[in-house]
Each structure stands twice: as structure tokens, then as C-alpha cells.
Structure 1
């Protein structure tokens, strides 16, 4: 017998109080016509003491929202905006990579979005990421534990206000440094289920791409990977980082793409006119060569800092002075040395895991990911083999008895869906449905 949604919501309210504000967005500046999908933006309070609120973008599945999985997507950094995940990786929007001329950058529909098969919450977290903010500066002092606890609190409170999604299969997902946090959030949900606080949550597993673990394996694998790819000898490891695109070793090196303190950025935009509506531009980003993949990152900066855009997204005024794609200027402590114990706990309980890696990433090389997966000491169910999309090899994969699937994405970099969107959509569609890649 199905439990009425009202009763489900009341059960949650017995344990949690919610402070959520949300709005449905049907049009976005820079996108021609109404949005062809359901978009909701809003805030959830996650730090009452300091007045901290997470900002989120929620996009319903374009297939069957009532039954399709619910994904909570965390973006790495730490403190890169989840908007990066939305427009550069797995969401249904992307920027037109046209030369910036002072007008508002244009957006178009992205056909290889994961919202084809899932409801996705893109969460600006921890506080200080994207449009998430704290009224007191102390709220920005974050670490791995604080991030995971606040993400967990967000999810529970969001579901109180969206009880129609409580019974949907739930997956926690993210990439890069968020790959370290995702298993922590999933384990916190499991603990809540064991404690009887969230018995109705339908947690199924987690998804991580080119994930950090916090362990030495992440850094040590860079040397062996770079050496195996013929880039360096071990003796020259440090020097080669200044001339190689770590996110994708075959793409052109663009120094403007590297994160820099705001004080080192140029104060002009190479003579390009800034829109009068842009009242939030404090430190204009450097525009790289238009052939650089990160050129669109600068476009996102001009788009998100436009007052018309902020009004459309229902961003609270005077909360974030300047949106930056990755905020590295606030305190963050990487206090967890390794998250392997969280993988152990979840996998031993039968939860599913998809771990994927772009095979041309030097930030978190797939060789290191394979190494820590091997340390879990699970027997191999299906050995190393190729997987295909459109009759072509899309990567290589293997599955383990602990419900973990590992896959490389051929030709992809650090954020695999950004480089190979069609292949990554095929990968997630097959894995979600329980098929072999």
C-alpha cells in the first residue's frame, strides 16, 4: 500500500524543520524561448547559527520524473559552483562558445544531459560556492565533515518540501574533489536510515567521476601516469606541470585557465565592453584563446554576474557580491586523509557504486583510482573489457562482487562528461537501469 505524500511529509517534519524558499524558472536570459525542461531554484538553510543557506538548481527528469532516480550532484574544487556541473558537464544547458563582445553570453539546449533519465539537484556547496552564502563570515570556515553534514541536512530538508521524490531511487553523485565527499554524504544517509530517522529514503548508491580520495594514491599516481604516457621522466615531474594541461593532457595548455587569486587577475577585459547591467563585476576574468576549452568558463562569469540573470534565477540580493566559478579564497580544511572506509561501509551493505574516469586526466589519473579500488579486496565479477557507443570503443570497464562498476571514458579529461557527453550519457543510462556497460 502506498503511503500518502502528506503522511510522508509529516513523518519527516517530526524529525526536521525546513527553511526553504524556491521559485520555478521558465525563462533564462541568453536562452531563446521558454526552457524545454522544468527548472527550480532556491535556498535551504543549513547553518542556523551563522545564517548559512545553500543555493540549488533542480531540474526534473525529461523522461518520467515520478519514477526516475533523484541525483544530488556535488561539484568539486572544493567550492566550485554546481553551475559548472549544469552547463559544462551533465545538465541540459551549455554556452555558445562565441567571442565575447560585451553582450550577454548565449545558452543553448544540451541534448546529452543526464536529466534525460534522472531528476538532478545541482547544489552550490559548501557555503561560499556559487550563490550559497553565510551572513556571518565564520560560516565559511568549512572542512570535509562540515560539507558532508550540511549537504545531508540540505537533502533531508529539500525532501520535506518535495515529498513526491522521497520514494524515488536516490543516488549521491559528484566528481573531482566532490568524489571524496559523496561517499561521506551517502554514509550519513545510511546512518540516518539505521537510526530510524529516514526509513523512507530509497538510497541506492553513489556515482563519482575522476574522484579524489584524500589519500596519497591521488598524488602518487600522477608520476606513474605521466611517465607511462611518455610526458616526463620521474625526475622532471614538478617542472612539467607548468606546460601541460592537467585536466586533459592532449588539449592545448592555457595558463589563463588555472585558478588564480583575484588580485592577480587583469582589471580589464582586453578592451571588450562590459554590459551596463553587470553590477557585480569586481575582478573581470582573463579571456584565454578562444580555442581553449575554458573560454566558456569566462562567459559563465559574465552571465552569472549579470543582474538580469540573477533576477531570473531569484538570487537573493546582497548575499554574493561576485559569482566566481571556483571560489578558492575562503578557508577550507581537507581534514579527512582518506575516504576509503566510507566506500567499505557502503559497499558492504550492498549499495551500488559507479566510478568513472576520463582516461586523459592528470589531476586524478585513472591509474590511481584503479589502485584504491583494488585495495577494497573485492573479487572481480567481469574482467577488463571494452564498452561501446555507436559501434566504437567508448572506454574500458570491469565490475566487482561488491556492486562497484569501474569505467574509463576514452578520450575524456578530468570532468569526463564535459569532454565525451554522448558516451557518458550512454554510460549512466545503462548503469542506472542495471545493464552492463
Structure 2
């Protein structure tokens, strides 16, 4: 290492020294009986010009071989959603015990399909305002897609300086939903940083995206295509809207009466569905009926405590189960156990819709296309019952990357049953696997945990799905 690189590394170590006390091992948690059977670390790392942004994280070591297994950085969508969503509802080792659920006492249980069985995972609350992350300054509360990516890269550099034993592990940047906008940007930042010789060098191997938002125009178009494909709108309406809107559903001319009428008719057909999973019952509250073609992604994660007064046990809705996270994470005993800095946030919410955030990236297709020139792997998966970001749109933009097909569309199996369908794309250096998860919604691991764990396990091990 040259003298300049050594000096930079020393400076980073010194910068971390002030935050070392913010990293804690957590051996037990309220609601879980006994000692946790895995290694959990929580903490804050300061990022930004003066470390004004304090990003909170949960780190869980691989339960198999932390010395050799992949290191994942996991971001939950939103923007503004806590990574605790991924930990407790999707791929982490803990979940809520719904069978012992009485709306007051919250207990935790182990997830037999946790991805921490094969990888170490940093669950990061990003951007600022998500989960327990906060800013020391008024200006620091403002963020954007590009700024969030830059700060996350800053976080990861500091985290690896503070955890040197993981620097050689294969590194994957991962996330779902709105993270499809930010993750490719972060991967580009890391790749560029490695090429510039920034320390620490990262053993970047690829990225994973689930049900990802990647391009706004593509998303709007794919909602209509998917709705027609699964018989939610008629052939006649589908043909009419394609002609009347000229294939552009993102910028609708207010003077185009027929296009607006067709869009209204489509919303009448699909507006009462649960867009996260079209086969599940909708929540029994009028406020949840929305204009599907103009939805806010964060509405998928709204606070269920706002409508618990209308809950009737026999009228089950998946969003009711999210209430447990609000009760648990706002408990002072829980926050003390997690070493949350008291007084830094007013209330923990799964998704903070009031963050000051500029969505300054409308498409990441160019990022993906540039990444195809790198020596990287990508796994992109979608639940096939997701109407919010349908798999048909994801498959469409993947085709535009121009990477040759190495394995055509085929089923993949778990325990002898079809778990979904997959295609593989491969060039001399780049490899991308696209997979659907049969029966899953937005996002897939929440609905089909066993199948998604099998998918991840095989892919990280370089096996075919």
C-alpha cells in the first residue's frame, strides 16, 4: 500500500474511533426467550461532511461460516423504510409470533428460512429518517437518491474499517422495492471507488434486487400489461388504452379525454385489489382504496395502527400483522436492548413518509447497462402476484441490457414443486439471473420464505436455480 493510501486508511480509522462506542453486541431481546442463538450487533456510524447523519444498523453474522460466507448489505425500500422490515418480515433470523398475538404482548420467534444461515447481513436504516437513523443538523435531514447512495458507500467504507475480518468476504449489495433505484447507484460507487484505489478495497461480487423499482415509465406500463395478462382488465380496454395513451402512461395529456377515461376504467377494475398481492384480501378500510396507477410506494407500508379500530379478527389483512413491529420497536426496553440513542427520533415507524427526500433518479437502466461491463453477478427476483411492480416490467428492462441469454425460460423447483420460473443472461464477465417466485407478492420473501431462501442459497453458492 502506498504512503497516500496508508494515510487515508489511518484517517478513516481515526474517524471511526469516535463512534466505536456506538457498536454493541446484543445477546438478548425483549420478547425472545433466553439468549439469541446468533450474533447480533447494533450501532451507529456517522456519515456526511461532519458525520452529521447517524445511520443505524443491525449486523448479524452468518450462522454457518462467517469467515468465508458472503457479506450482504441490505436496504429496504420506501424511500424511508426501516431495514427492520427485511430483518423481521423477510430474510432475517427473527420474526413475530402471531399465534401468541393479543395486541399487547409481542413475542419473537426464529425464522427457519433466514438468509443468515448462508450469509452475514448488515441491515441498514437508510436514508436518514428511516428507522432509528437521524441527523444532528437540520440540513442533514435532507436526502436524495444520489446522496443516499453516496452516504451508504461512506457508511460501508467505515464499517469495513471497523470490521477488518470481513474485508475479504464476497460483498453483495442487496435490497427490494424502491431500493431498486438506490442499489445500482451504490454498486457503481463501490466499483468506481475500487478502480480509483479508495480504501478499504471491497471484494464486490454483485448485487441482489427483489421486486425492484427500476424505471418509472416501465413500472406504469407494466401495471397495465400485467393487469391484462392476469385477466384484471378486458382485451377491449387493454387495446383501447394502448392506442389512446400512445403507450405513455407516465405523462398523460390532460386534454386526451379518451386516455384519461381508459385510465379511470382501469383504476375502477384494479383499485380495490391489494396491489402487493392480488390474491390476498384487501384491508377493510376505505382509506386503503387508491388510484393504483398513481400510487405512492410508501402506501404499501402505512402504519396499521391508524386503522386498528376497524379490525375484526375474522377480516384478516396482512398489514395488520405489521402493527407488532410498531408496538415492539417503540418499547423503551427494546430500544435500550438495541442501544438506540434516546431522544434522537420521536417515534419509530416502519416507513417514514415525512422524510425530506428528493427522488432525483427516475431510471436505473443506464446504471445496470454500465454494470454489465464489470465483472459482477446479479440476482433479480419478483413475486408473480405483485401488481405494484410487476415482474413483466422487470423482465422487459432486463432484456434491453443486451446481455445474451445463456439459459432460456424454465421452471425452478423446491422440494419437487415448481417454485417459479427463471432465465439467465451471461457475457464474458457479467452474469444475471432473473427469477419469478410463484405465488409471492411484494416483496417475495415475506410470502414465500422457504422458496426464496432456497433461491438465495443456490445463487450465492454459484449453483443453478
Distance 1:288 1:85 in 2: 27
> Residues 377-433 of structure 1, C-alpha deviation per residue, up to 9 Å, x if partnerless?
111100000000000000000101130110001110011010111111110111111
Distance 2:425 2:117 in 1: 27
Distance 2:153 2:9 in 1: 14
What residue is the counterpart of 2:279 in the other structure? Answer: 250
Deviation at 1:14, TM superposition (A): 4.5
Q: 1:216 to 1:295 in 2, by over 3 A?
A: same
What residue is the counterpart of 1:283 in the other structure? Answer: none
Deviation at 1:321, TM superposition (A): 1.2
What residue is the counterpart of 2:143 in the other structure? Answer: 142
Q: 1:158 to 1:333 in 2, by over 3 A?
A: same
Q: 1:264 to 1:72 in 2, by over 3 A?
A: closer
> Residues 211-245 of structure 1, C-alpha deviation per residue, up to 9 Å, x if partnerless?
01133101110011011111124432222343100
Structure 2 unmatched runs, 5+? 239-261, 289-297
What residue is the counterpart of 1:237 in the other structure? Answer: 266
What residue is the counterpart of 2:316 in the other structure? Answer: 291
What residue is the counterpart of 1:176 in the other structure? Answer: 177
Moved more, 120-129 or 41-50: 41-50
- Please say if 1:28 is aligned against 2:48: no
Distance 1:108 1:338 in 2: 38
What pairs up with 1:58-137 in 2 under 5 angstroms?
Answer: 58-98=59-99, 101=102, 103-137=104-138
Which of 363, 366, 376 is the aligned partner of 2:391? 366
What residue is the counterpart of 2:241 in the other structure? Answer: none
Distance 1:385 1:267 in 2: 43
- Please say if 1:355 is aligned against 2:383: no
Deviation at 1:330, TM superposition (A): 1.7
Counterpart contact for 1:23–1:41, Cα < 8 Å: yes
What residue is the counterpart of 2:189 in the other structure? Answer: 188
Deviation at 1:341, TM superposition (A): 1.6
What residue is the counterpart of 2:254 in the other structure? Answer: none
> Greater helix percent: which structure?
2
Structure 1 unmatched runs, 5+? 271-285
Q: 1:333 to 1:267 in 2, by over 3 A?
A: closer
Distance 1:384 1:436 in 2: 13
Distance 1:220 1:136 in 2: 40
Distance 1:159 1:95 in 2: 31
For the residue of structure 1 that corresponds to 2:232, the secondary structure is coil
Deviation at 1:142, TM superposition (A): 1.3
Distance 1:369 1:39 in 2: 34
Distance 2:278 2:319 in 1: 14
Counterpart contact for 2:277–2:441, Cα < 8 Å: yes
- The structure that has the greater radius of gyration is 2
For the residue of structure 1 that corresponds to 2:98, the secondary structure is coil
Distance 2:171 2:214 in 1: 22
Deviation at 1:267, TM superposition (A): 7.2
Q: 1:155 to 1:243 in 2, by over 3 A?
A: same
TM-score, with structure 2 as normaliser: 0.84
Q: 1:268 to 1:204 in 2, by over 3 A?
A: closer
Deviation at 1:350, TM superposition (A): 2.0
Moved more, 63-72 or 261-270: 261-270
Counterpart contact for 1:397–1:408, Cα < 8 Å: yes
What pairs up with 1:263-412 in 2 under 5 angstroms?
Answer: 270=309, 291-401=316-426, 402-412=430-440
Number of residue equivalences:
416
Deviation at 1:98, TM superposition (A): 4.2
What residue is the counterpart of 1:278 in the other structure? Answer: none
Counterpart contact for 2:232–2:270, Cα < 8 Å: no
Counterpart contact for 1:50–1:138, Cα < 8 Å: no
Q: 1:288 to 1:84 in 2, by over 3 A?
A: farther
Distance 1:208 1:9 in 2: 34
Distance 1:263 1:415 in 2: 15
What residue is the counterpart of 2:199 in the other structure? Answer: 198
> Residues 43-97 of structure 1, C-alpha deviation per residue, up to 9 Å, x if partnerless?
0001344721000000000000011000000000111100000000000011012
Counterpart contact for 2:424–2:434, Cα < 8 Å: yes
What residue is the counterpart of 2:10 in the other structure? Answer: 13
Distance 1:312 1:9 in 2: 37
Where in structure 1 do 4 or more consecutive aligned residues deviate above 6 Å?
8-11, 260-268
Counterpart contact for 1:416–1:424, Cα < 8 Å: yes
For the residue of structure 2 that corresponds to 1:348, the secondary structure is coil
Counterpart contact for 1:363–1:414, Cα < 8 Å: yes
